[in-house]
Structure 1
Amino acid sequence: MPRIEWTENDRTGSDTGAGPDAPVHSARWHSESGAPAPRRVVVADDRTKADVAYRLVCEGTALLWRGDFHGARQLLSALGRRVDRKAAAPRKATASGKAAAPGATVADSFHLHRRARGHRARVLGMLLVRLDDDHGLALRRAPDVRAACREAYGPPDGPMVVSLRELLGVIGAHEWRSKGVHVPALDDRIHPHYGVFSPVRGEYVDLVARVPLPGAAERGAPPRRTAFDIGTGTGVLAAVLARRGVDRVVATDINPRAIACARDNVERLGLQERVEVVETGLFPAGRATLVVCNPPWLPARPTSAVEQGVYDPGGAMLHGFLNGLAEHLEPAGEGWLILSDLAEHLELRTREDLLASFDAAGLRVAGRHDIAPRHPRAADATDPLHAARAAEVTSLWRLTPA
């Protein structure tokens, strides 16, 4: 694990530096997004001015916070406002989210938006906190973060330094995990773990809950009705299928956090006799009457663990599912692909490309069911991608071998 070093008397606003005899402290560096360890770290506290902090982090100097916890959150917000103001100053965009620059495309706007968000994340990720041997946070008025950190990072292994922004995400994930997300299709709660995409957008769940099951599944074809849930995440779709009467559901994922999360939810819902959670890439062994997949919707590179539920570089998971589907279906079985058309509105993929992928995989479309988004961002005219989000439709494609 990489380590970072600092001295306690090398503080923001000091022009003299730490001095040759200052004791050097060090700790392990941890970043869920894979950010490299900062090369220079100085200590900051409640006396640190936001403008000074912003200049330092933009120059590549990280700030290790030693003040009040709520002061750290306020400084993080102040840094965010400065990043946003600087990004907005030269930007000339219409309310539809299309860049006003001549020749710019919707895809250009999307990539600029992603680049700006990546820059914002890097700048805000330079405000750091130190976790103690037990994952405790020794700052004034700091919450007890030990349970949240154990859930996200595992058992403590000595002090480590993380960004405050990441730690706030860990705390938020712990709260979501504790209270759960109500899923109307289950009339129950799903408890997402850190790093696993939460089913807060329920459209895709509603589609799986309401679309008629394949005929063979409805008739109870021998020996048993079996379904595969590919890339199960929290296990929500596997649970919906089991509650709908599918006798055996095999839920797969390649992410160990997702496997632990899905197993936890299956046990909470009392479905462990019907749902088996398997850690594997895409398909388990054998065939099924129904194979369901809700892959990441956008063919772009994720920048964090959580974003892996949204971004699929090159559409690798989508094409892997399509290309392997036919050989994992029972006769009269169906594959259900749940996919938003947001990528089409962002000009990252065309409808023709998607249909060509079906043909190349030897599949035909037996039907399609659509649902409009209900999430708040679809109605937020200030969102740079508002036009695409407002036009978005999520579809369940019923696919069978051609």
Structure 2
Amino acid sequence: MVVQSAFPAKSAELASKSSPIIDGAPDRLARWLYFVAAMVVTIVAVGGITRLTESGLSITQWQPVTGTLPPLTEEAWLAEFAEYRETPEFRLEAGPAGMTLSDFKFIFFWEWFHRLMGRLIGLAFAIPLAFYWVKGLIPTGYKPRLLALLALGGLQGTFGWLMVRSGLSGDMTDVSHFWLSVHLLTAFITLAGLIWTALDLRALARDPSAAPSRLTAISTVTAIILFIQMLLGAWVAGLNAGLASDTWPLMQGRFIPEYDTTKGVLWAITHDPFLLHFLHRWWAWAAVAALIVLARVVRPIDRRASVAVHSAFGIQILLGIATVMTGVALWIAVAHQLVGALLVIATAWAAHVAGRKGATA
């Protein structure tokens, strides 16, 4: 905020010395973070396509620089295809199905594009961060938070490679569903952090004295319940457990399906596709209940956030049911994962509203 006086130049100088906020900087930073968040939503959708087209193991090496370009000659394509033919997935699944080089190029594209987007997101965050840092445009207290988001992005790339590597050894024909869940949930946590920080910066742009929003009890409980639901969803995806039933609300003609407990209940909860499908299907309603409570709390403060939460979980439920009943149709399943990312945004928005100073939540 610039102080007006009879000596404008002197007043501006005093204002710049007394305030760590440069006019317009918080709003610029917020728009930048919203742009990066949009890129994260996009890569979540691309990741869903990569998983559903069984493309994730088509690139068997992690080459951060040289891997930016796809194979450019026929010889290079044949070399990549030869490496893929050595993987358990090809030997045990894709090979017997008669995969051609053209088929391989299709799955290679999605994994390459997914990795390329990850690199672009890293650049879209790191380069502006360095610029804003050098120019002194980052408000006091925000540097550690932005560095933490940068670190999460780096971890995301590492987790992605560990996920891929888990499917390249032994007799694995898919990546580990545990590593898949770590990879996906890290993306969702990063997305929530981007939105939360952008909202704090927007509040700072409106009022230089605005304090960061706090995490309330209801927001914390809602976040935990939603985290569990998304963890179950990632395990369902990693184990192809969405195919365990194509009927709703019953499975195998009954409410609770048969599942394997011979290796213990803990193993069943983390590995049995029928039980995981059942848990993901019905824990969703615990998430809905928590989201409704959060939406009702923030409705008097910001009705838009309340509407966003209701809309996101409503569409997500319909897409989840449609995914089941269509036998995990590609584009419906991708839309289900995409709206999951939008639900994270809506929830972060509502939680931020609930935690604003002066809010009644």
TM, length-normalised to structure 1 = 0.23
Higher relative strand content: 1
More contact order relative to length (CA 8 Å, sep ≥ 6): 2
TM, length-normalised to structure 2 = 0.25
